[in-house]
Amino acid sequence: MAQKLKFYDVKAKQSFETDKYETVERNTARGPMLFAVATSPYSGIKVYRLLGKKK
């Protein structure tokens, strides 16, 4: 089971906690990074949280 993470919805200006997210890898200027992607319960947009550099 995934642990609960805190996300911030920029559009609604509110934070929320959820364990319903997926982990995606994105290439950045600093190398590959891992992000958690969740859907906001307030506005329905996708919100991202940086988890760290891929090992």
Q: What is the pLDDT along the chain (55 residues), one digit of tens a residue?
A: 579 999 999 999 999 999 999 999 999 999 999 999 999 999 999 999 999 998 8
Which residue segment(s) compose the domain that 43 sits in?
Answer: 5-53
Residue 1: the pLDDT is 59
Q: State how many domains the chain has.
A: 1
Residue 5 has which token pair?
Answer: 């993470």
- How far is residue 48's CA from residue 42's CA, in Å, rounded to a whole number? 15
Residue 55: the pLDDT is 81
Residue 2: the pLDDT is 77
